[in-house]
Structure 1
Amino acid sequence: MPKIRASAVTRTFGRGSRQLAALGPLDLEIATGEFVCLVGPSGCGKSTLLRIAAGLLSPSSGELELRTDATHPAAMIFQDYGIYDWKTVLANVRFGLDVQRVPRKEADRRARAWLDRLGLADFADAYPAALSGGMRQRVAIARALAVEPEILLMDEPFAALDAQLRTILQEELLALTQATDTTTLFITHSLEEALLLGDRVLVMSARPGRVIAERRPPFGRPRTGDVRSDARFTALKDELWQLLRGEVSQQTATCGEGAAA
């Protein structure tokens, strides 16, 4: 049984003549422990799909279900970190556990364990303003994983980071998700990132977004960043770009027409 299942999901924004079809119809199944990456042109509904999965939006039609008995099955990580400036690093990481009413002693233990695992133990009492962008994103990842979610939803979490930090955090996330067997739905504009992280890479069309292609990177697990130097990696990256090129051009043309109107 799939952990995530979407059936004919659509999402429309606006009303009457000003309606905008943003997504679908879209069908999707993700197995337990699978890491699936979504790539597609800007504005094709990737983030909309993720927010529907997180329960932050409702589909206009169709159904998306998370097949789990857990009370809090999913955790979401955003591009802009989503951590609280007025809370210490420890309090940020412990936040989800506090919401779940985990006893403070146990919550502190779990939060500190994740801080240690992500190299942030020395910053437990610091505030986010004192951290670099990469460190703030590590706090966001630690907060999400501290609640031990069955499902991890990630919306371009490394997009705002420089190339060096992005590479480091990609490899850290790869190691973490392989160790915890978490089911992950990951949105990215980077084909390289998708091929490094994903068990499957799904290509979405221009708006309204639908899945138009699927590729399975031919690299086993456990996987490391060394696959970037594999000739198959480069060939598959080029293939994905050819699939995306026309969709990106179509989306750009549509946006231009909308601006002109």
Structure 2
Amino acid sequence: MGDPHPKIEARAVTRVFGRAARAVHALGPVDLTVAPGEFTCVVGPSGCGKSTLLRIAAGLLRPSSGELRIRTNARRPAAMIFQDYGIHDWKTVLANIRFGLDVQKVPRREADARAAHWLDRMGLTDFAAAYPAALSGGMRQRVAIARALAVEPEILLMDEPFAALDAQLRTILQDELLGLTQTTRTTTLFITHSLEEAIVLGDRVLVMSARPGRVIAERRPPFPRPRTGAVRATPEFAALTSELWELLRGEVGAGAAA
């Protein structure tokens, strides 16, 4: 019997930026739960508050009202991966991957072993001494993923991590992330504007409305795990993509008109 309590739970969470006449109601109210080991994807139109929700989950923003709880016993329970990589330009690939381990004061021998494992796992061993400026966008995002997973977080928070990559590279990294998270069973909250990405990766896909973002639909992709990127070629994949786009189309229009 697994843990019955959700790892992430939001209750009536809202976020307002600014004050009085200039206040912008960016998010909510949002109710959300993410079960232990679940990969939950959130999709929605630009400006709907998806990233705001993730930043509240990460503790980078406070909600204006409501509550978001992270249930964990770990000292540093969550790791976050951003669209712009979030790695340090002045550190080598190895030093970037070790960064979180050093912050946690993991013993040097163990930190070296874990960093070496993730260098190998992400195909970065030959680039251990390189600096990010020498790497492609895809390689930099691999470094960011390796750094996040090296600390063995209970929760992974990902904010459109592949949005800046070209379509082919994006597909490759989606498939790599799919394999990694199915192995580690890390509880993941993943923000994306790509329906296809959400359906490939997610146990559950939540659709948000135009601003102020609220959850207006939930779907569970009908693909058992372990799953591979081959699901993209199935009729079920095409049907679910079409269904979600019908839900989203009106919200995208509403967001553009706002």
What TM bracket, shorter-length normalisation?
over 0.9
Alignment of 1:221 with 2:222, yes or no, is no
Point out where structure 1 has 5 or more consecutive residues left out of the alignment: 255-261
Equivalent of 1:73, from 49, 73, 77? 77
Q: Which amino acid in the other structure matches residue 124 of structure 1?
A: A
Percent same amino acid at aligned positions? 80
**Aligned match for 1:89, one of 79, 89, 93:** 93
Q: Give the distance between the partners of 2:199 and 2:28, measured in 1 at CA.
A: 24
Q: AA paired with 1:27?
A: D
Unaligned runs of 5+ in 2: none
Residue number among 128, 140, 146 corresponding to 2:144 in the alignment: 140
CA deviation map 1:87-133 (0-9, x unaligned): 00000000001111111221111111101001001111110011111
Which SS does the other structure have where 2:223 is aligned?
coil
The equivalent of 1:187 in structure 2 is 191
CA distance in 2, matches of 1:166, 1:26: 29
Residue 35 (structure 2) aligns with: 31
Equivalent position SS for 1:208: coil
Which of the numbers 200, 216, 230 marks the counterpart of 1:196? 200
AA in 2 matched with 1:67: R
Give the residue type in structure 1 aligned to 2:201. Answer: L
Question: Could you give the per-residue CA deviations for residues 138-174 of structure 1, whole angstroms, max 9, x where no partner exists?
Answer: 0000000000000000000001111111111000000
> C-alpha distance in 1, partners of 2:170/2:57?
25
Matched, 1:114 2:118: yes
Q: 1:212 aligns with which of 216, 241, 244?
A: 216
Helix, strand or coil: the match of 1:63?
Answer: strand
1:178 aligns with 2:187: no
More displaced, 100-109 or 119-128? 100-109
Q: 2:255 aligns with which of 245, 251, 255?
A: 251
Aligned equivalent of 1:259? none
Q: For residue 97 of structure 1, what is the amino acid of its counterpart?
A: L
Partner residue in 1 for 2:66 = 62
Cα separation, 1, equivalents of 2:193 and 2:48: 11
Q: How many residues were matched structurally?
A: 254
CA distance in 2, matches of 1:104, 1:86: 21
Query: In structure 2, which of residues 53, 57, 63 is the aligned counterpart of residue 53 of structure 1?
Result: 57
Give the Cα separation in 2 of the matches to 1:91 and 1:15.
Answer: 42
Runs of 4+ in structure 1 displaced over 6 angstroms?
A: none
Q: Structure 2 length normalisation: TM-score?
A: 0.98
1:189 to partner: Cα distance: 0.8
- Separation in 1, partners of 2:15, 2:194: 24
Q: Does 2:28 correspond to 1:21?
A: no
Paired with 1:180 and 1:82, the residues of 2 have a C-alpha distance of: 22
The TM-score, its normalising length taken from structure 1, stands at: 0.97
